[in-house]
C-alpha cells in the first residue's frame, strides 16, 4: 500500500474513533469536580516529626516555625513538654499538639485565637459539654467549678469537663480541659481533649503552657501595642460605692465581686457582679435562667421583655428586672459596654430582697465604668 | 445514513454556524461578566456544554444556547473530520497538512487545558511548610476519620455534590450525610446579634449559636463566596447525631463520634495534596526607592521530596516559576503587610501542546513556502534558459 492509500483508508476510521473520544473527553472533563475522593494524609507533615524535618533542612535555611501562628519571640519563650508532638495546623489552629499515653490513649491540644464575638464563657463551656454528650450548666454552676488563672495578659478561665459521648472511643475522648481568655481585640481558646486519665495527667503541663503562652504574648507586643494603654486584666476595672451593711466577700472564680447582706431575721442575700466578654446571650435567655434558679417556669420573650425596665445612671443605662418565686426573689441589672456585659444580681428570700432593693438600686447608680 | 452524518460533520456550513455561535457566545458572555463576575461568567458561558436558563420560581433549567465546550468540541471535530475526508496525500501539500495539524493540536490543547488544568494556590508565611495547595474557588466538605495512629482518612465531598445531593451515602463513612440546606454565599452572625425570630440552622456544635444569612454571589475578582451548609449526620445503624453547621467561615473543624471512631468535619477550600512539601524561607517585596511602586516580588522556598531525595532551595519570582512534578509554582501575590506569600500552582497536563503546535505550524509554513520558492526558482531558471 502506498502512502496515499494508507492515509485515505484510515480517514473514515479516524472519524469514527476521534469523534466519540473527543466527546468522552469533554464529558469526563465536565465531571472532574464532582467525585467524592478518599485519601489518607499523615497526621505529621510529610510523615516526619517536626524535629526530623528540621534536621532534613540544609544548614543555611531557617527552621520552620513550630508551632505556627505564635509570634517568633513567643515561640522561643514557651517550652512545651517533650511528649507533646507538634501537629499540622488547621485553618484556625495556631498551635496543635498530640500527647500519647499508655494503651493507645491520646489527647489533642490546640490553641485558637478568634475575634471578640466568640461568645461568652458559659456559651463555650456548654458547647464543650455538648461535645462530651453532657447537659448544659448554669452560670452559677460554672462559677463554682471554673478556675481563674492569672496571667499578664489577663485572667484565664479554666474549665475541667468530663463525659464520654455515645459511641466514642474512651482511649481518645472523655475529658476536656479548656481555657479561655478575652482581650480587647481577641478571644483565646486553649483546649485539651482526650482520654480522661491522660488528660488529668497532662493538666498541670497544660495550665503551665497556657500561662506561658499568655505571658509570652504580652512580652512580645509590638512597639505600637506597647505604646497603647495596657489592660491589667481581661475585664476592665469599674468602681462603685458599697452600700452600708453589705459585706464584701472574696469572689469565686467566675465572679468579679461578691457581697452578702443580712436581714434582721438572719436571712442572707447574695449579691454578685459578673462580667463576660461579648454580649452574654439574649435577655430572655438570661432572665429565664434566673427564673429557673428560683423555681419559676420559663417565660416567653414578650413576657420577659415586658418585665424589663430601664435604669438610667450618670454613666450608662441598665436593664433591670425583678422576679419573685414562691420563696426566693431576684433583682438584677445588666448593661453591655465596651465589648463586655456586666450582670449585677441580688438573690434571697423575698422579704429580705424587698428590704434591700433601695440599697441595690443605689449600688447600681453608683457604678462608674 | 452514515454518509449523511459524515456530510453533516464535515460540512463547511457547520464550521460557519460554530464560528457564528462562538462570536455570539463571546459577546454575551463578556457582557454577562458585568453582573456575574469573570469566574461565574466563564463557568456559565464558556466552560459548559450549554448555557442554561432557569425560569423564575421554577425548579428546573432549560438549555438555551450551546456553551463554549460544546462549540469548541464540535468545531474541533468538524476540522478534523473535514480534513480527514478531503485529505489527498501529495508531497506538495505537506506544508498545508502540517499547518492544519498544528492548528488542530493548538485547538485540542486549549480544550484539554480548559478541561483538565487545575489552578490552586499556596499561602505561606515565613517558615511555613505545606504539602498541599488550595483551590481558589471550589470548596469541599472534608470528613476526616482521626482515629488512626499516624494517618487521617479524609473523605472529601466536593461542593457540587453538596449543592445537588440531598443524601450522601458513601462506602467510607459509617453514616449518611443529609444536606438540610446549602448556601452558595452566606454571612454568619452570632445568634444573639442576628435579631429577633432568627433561628439557627443547626442544633449541634457552635452552629447552634450562629445564624446563617444568605448573601449574593461574590462577583469581584478579589472576593470569594463563603459557602455554608446544614448537614444532619445519620448513623447507618439508625438514629441521628443532630444537625451541624459547616461553613468556610467557621474555620476550626468540629468533632463527633460515630461507629466507635472519632470524626472531624469542616467545609474548607478544596485541597490538592502533593508527595512533596515547600517551605518559605524568605519573601522579598522590593519597591522603587521613595515610592510604593512594586519593583520585584520573590519567594525563596525549600523544596523537599522524600520519595525522590530532593532537598533544594528555589527562588520563585516573576516569569521564573518553579516547575516540579508536572506542576508550576508562580509568584502570584502576597499579604498586604508582606507577612505571607501567595504562590499560584498550575497543574496542566497539556501545557506542552501550544509549544508543539507552534513548532509544527512553523515547520508547515516553512515547507509550504519552501515548495513555492523552489517552484518559482525553477520556473524562472527555465524561462531564462
Residues within 8 A of A (CB atoms), B 315-354 only: none
Q: Give pLDDT tens digits for B23-64.
A: 999 999 999 988 887 878 888 898 888 998 877 666 678 889
| Whole-number pLDDT of residue B361 | 95
- The CATH-assigned architecture of domain A246-366 is 3-Layer(aba) Sandwich (3.40)
| Whole-number pLDDT of residue A59 | 26
Task: Calculate mean pLDDT across residues A348-366.
Answer: 89
| Whole-number pLDDT of residue A146 | 82
| Whole-number pLDDT of residue A223 | 30
Q: Do B267 and B146 belong together in one domain?
A: yes
Q: Is the pLDDT of residue A152 over 50?
A: yes
Residues from chain B contacting residue A67 (CB–CB below 8 Å): none
Q: Do B110 and B18 belong together in one domain?
A: yes
| Rounded distance between C-alpha atoms, residue B296 and residue A188, angstroms | 37
DSSP, residue by residue, B200-264? -S-SBGGGGGEEEEE-PPP-STT-----EEEEEEEETTS----EEEEETTT-S-EEEEETTEEEE
Q: Is the pLDDT of residue A234 over 50?
A: no
CA distance B22 to chain A (A): 17
Task: Calculate mean pLDDT across residues A51-78.
Answer: 34
Distances (CA, A) of A85 to A43, A62, A69, A282, B253: 10, 21, 16, 41, 19
Q: Is the ipTM of this complex over 0.85?
A: no
Q: Give pLDDT tens digits for A131-146.
A: 888 888 888 788 777 8
Q: Are B47 and B69 in contact, with CB atoms under 8 Å apart?
A: yes
| Whole-number pLDDT of residue A21 | 59
Cis ω for the linkage preceding A67 (within 30 of 0): yes
**Domain boundary assignment for chain A:** 65-227, 246-366
Q: Do B160 and B84 belong together in one domain?
A: no
Chosen domain end from B239, B272, B305 = B272
CA distance B49 to chain A (A): 8
Which of the residues B1, B63, B84, B301 would you substitute to probe the A interface, choosing the one with the greatest number of A C-beta atoms within 10 Å? B84
Q: Do B85 and B179 belong together in one domain?
A: no
- Please state the φ and ψ torsions of residue A164, each to the nearest 5 degrees: -115, 115
Q: Provide the pLDDT confidence category of residue A1 given band limits of 50, 70 and 90.
A: very low
Q: Which ranges constitute the DSSP H helices of B117-175?
A: 159-164
Q: Do B107 and B142 belong together in one domain?
A: no
Q: Give pLDDT tens digits for B151-206.
A: 888 999 999 898 887 899 999 999 999 999 999 888 888 777 777 778 888 888 77
Q: Give pLDDT tens digits for B332-351.
A: 888 777 778 999 999 998 88
Q: Taking CB atoms and an 8 Å limit, are A34 and B158 in contact across chains?
A: yes
Q: Give pLDDT tens digits for A207-230.
A: 888 888 877 665 444 332 333 333
Q: Provide the pLDDT confidence category of residue A88 given band limits of 50, 70 and 90.
A: low
**Number of domains chain B contains:** 3
Question: Touching check for B42 and chain A: CB below 8 Å?
Answer: no
* 3-state SS, residue A12: helix
Q: Give pLDDT tens digits for A235-281.
A: 457 888 888 888 877 655 456 777 888 877 778 888 888 776 666 67
| Whole-number pLDDT of residue B314 | 92
CA angle A15, A19, A21 (to 5 degrees): 120
Give pTM, 2 decimals: 0.51
| Rounded distance between C-alpha atoms, residue A288 and residue A286, angstroms | 5
Q: Which residue of B has its CA nearest to A40?
A: B153
| Structural domain range at position B36 | 2-117+352-384
CA distance A255 to chain B (A): 23
Query: In the CATH hierarchy, which fold is given to the domain comprising A65-227?
Result: Jelly Rolls (2.60.120)
Task: Calculate mean pLDDT across residues B127-146.
Answer: 89
Q: Do B245 and B145 belong together in one domain?
A: yes
Q: Do B96 and B207 belong together in one domain?
A: no
Q: Is the pLDDT of residue B321 over 90?
A: yes
* 3-state SS, residue A312: strand
Mean pLDDT of chain B: 86
Amino acid at each position: 500500500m502506498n502512502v496515499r492509500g494508507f492515509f485515505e483508508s484510515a480517514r473514515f476510521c479516524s472519524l469514527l474513533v476521534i469523534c466519540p473520544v473527543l466527546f468522552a473527553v469533554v464529558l469526563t472533563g465536565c465531571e472532574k469536580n464532582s467525585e467524592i475522593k478518599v485519601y489518607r494524609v499523615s497526621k505529621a507533615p510529610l510523615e516526619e516529626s517536626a524535629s526530623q524535618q528540621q534536621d532534613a533542612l540544609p544548614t543555611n535555611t531557617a527552621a520552620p516555625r513550630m508551632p505556627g501562628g505564635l509570634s517568633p519571640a513567643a515561640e522561643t519563650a514557651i517550652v512545651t513538654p517533650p511528649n507533646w508532638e507538634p501537629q499540622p495546623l488547621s485553618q484556625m489552629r495556631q498551635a496543635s499538639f498530640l500527647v500519647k499515653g499508655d494503651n493507645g490513649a491520646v489527647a489533642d491540644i490546640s490553641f485558637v485565637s478568634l475575634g471578640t464575638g466568640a461568645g461568652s464563657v458559659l456559651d463555650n463551656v456548654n458547647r464543650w459539654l455538648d461535645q462530651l454528650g453532657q447537659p448544659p450548666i448554669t452560670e452559677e454552676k460554672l462559677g463554682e467549678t471554673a478556675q481563674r488563672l492569672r496571667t499578664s495578659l489577663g485572667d484565664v478561665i479554666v474549665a475541667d469537663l468530663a463525659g464520654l459521648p455515645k459511641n466514642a472511643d474512651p482511649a481518645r475522648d472523655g475529658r476536656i480541659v479548656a481555657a479561655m481568655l478575652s482581650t480587647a481585640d481577641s478571644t483565646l481558646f486553649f483546649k485539651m481533649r482526650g482520654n480522661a486519665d491522660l488528660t488529668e495527667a497532662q493538666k498541670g503541663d497544660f495550665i503551665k503552657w497556657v500561662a506561658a503562652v499568655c505571658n509570652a504574648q504580652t512580652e512580645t507586643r509590638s512597639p505600637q501595642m506597647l505604646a497603647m494603654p495596657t489592660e491589667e486584666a481581661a475585664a476592665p476595672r469599674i468602681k462603685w460605692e458599697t452600700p452600708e451593711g453589705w459585706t464584701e466577700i472574696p469572689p469565686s472564680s467566675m465572679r468579679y465581686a461578691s457581697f452578702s447582706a443580712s436581714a434582721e431575721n438572719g436571712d442572707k442575700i447574695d449579691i454578685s457582679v459578673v462580667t463576660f466578654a461579648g454580649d452574654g446571650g439574649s435577655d430572655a435567655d438570661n432572665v429565664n435562667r434566673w427564673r429557673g434558679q428560683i423555681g419559676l417556669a420559663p417565660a416567653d420573650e414578650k413576657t420577659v421583655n415586658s418585665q424589663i425596665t430601664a435604669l438610667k445612671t450618670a454613666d450608662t443605662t441598665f436593664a433591670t428586672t425583678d422576679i419573685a418565686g414562691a420563696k426566693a426573689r431576684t433583682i438584677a441589672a445588666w448593661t453591655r459596654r465596651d465589648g463586655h456585659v456586666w450582670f449585677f444580681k441580688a438573690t434571697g428570700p423575698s422579704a429580705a430582697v424587698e428590704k434591700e432593693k433601695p440599697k441595690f438600686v443605689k449600688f447600681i447608680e453608683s457604678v462608674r465604668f | 445514513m452514515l454518509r449523511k452524518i459524515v456530510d453533516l460533520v464535515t460540512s463547511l456550513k457547520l464550521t460557519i454556524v460554530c464560528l457564528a455561535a462562538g462570536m455570539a457566545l463571546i459577546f454575551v458572555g463578556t457582557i454577562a461578566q458585568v453582573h456575574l463576575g469573570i469566574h461565574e461568567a466563564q463557568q456559565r458561558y464558556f466552560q459548559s456544554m450549554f448555557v442554561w436558563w432557569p425560569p423564575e420560581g421554577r425548579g428546573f433549567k432549560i438549555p438555551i444556547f450551546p456553551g463554549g465546550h460544546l462549540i469548541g468540541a464540535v468545531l474541533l471535530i468538524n476540522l478534523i473530520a473535514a480534513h480527514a475526508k478531503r485529505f489527498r496525500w501529495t508531497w506538495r501539500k505537506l506544508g498545508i497538512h502540517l499547518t492544519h495539524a498544528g492548528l488542530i493540536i493548538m485547538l485540542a490543547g486549549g480544550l484539554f487545558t480548559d478541561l483538565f488544568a487545575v489552578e490552586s494556590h499556596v499561602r505561606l508565611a515565613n517558615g511555613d511548610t505545606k504539602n498541599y495547595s488550595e483551590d481558589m474557588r471550589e470548596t469541599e466538605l472534608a470528613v476526616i476519620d482521626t482515629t488512626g495512629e499516624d494517618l487521617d482518612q479524609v473523605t472529601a465531598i466536593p461542593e457540587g455534590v453538596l449543592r445537588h445531593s440531598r443524601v450522601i451515602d458513601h462506602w467510607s463513612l459509617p453514616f449518611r450525610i443529609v444536606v438540610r440546606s446549602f448556601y452558595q454565599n452566606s454571612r454568619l452572625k452570632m445568634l444573639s446579634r442576628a435579631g429577633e425570630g432568627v433561628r439557627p440552622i443547626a442544633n449541634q456544635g457552635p452552629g447552634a449559636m450562629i445564624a446563617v444569612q444568605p448573601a449574593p454571589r461574590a462577583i469581584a475578582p478579589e472576593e470569594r463566596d463563603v459557602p455554608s451548609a446544614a448537614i444532619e449526620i445519620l448513623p447507618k445503624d439508625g438514629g441521628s447525631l443532630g444537625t451541624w453547621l459547616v461553613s468556610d467561615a467557621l474555620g476550626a473543624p468540629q468533632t463527633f463520634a460515630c461507629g466507635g471512631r472519632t470524626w472531624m468535619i469542616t467545609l474548607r477550600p478544596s485541597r490538592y495534596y502533593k508527595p512533596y512539601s515547600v517551605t518559605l524561607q524568605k519573601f522579598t517585596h522590593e519597591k522603587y526607592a521613595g515610592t510604593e511602586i512594586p519593583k520585584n516580588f520573590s519567594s525563596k522556598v525549600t523544596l523537599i521530596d522524600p520519595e525522590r531525595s530532593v532537598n533544594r532551595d528555589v527562588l520563585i519570582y516573576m516569569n521564573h516559576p518553579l516547575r516540579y512534578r508536572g506542576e508550576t509554582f508562580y509568584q502570584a501575590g502576597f499579604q498586604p503587610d508582606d507577612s505571607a506569600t501567595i504562590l499560584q500552582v498550575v497543574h496542566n497536563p497539556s501545557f506542552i501542546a501550544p509549544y508543539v503546535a507552534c513548532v509544527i505550524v512553523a515547520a508547515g509554513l516553512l515547507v509550504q513556502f519552501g515548495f513555492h520558492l523552489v517552484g518559482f526558482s525553477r520556473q524562472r531558471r527555465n524561462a531564462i534558459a
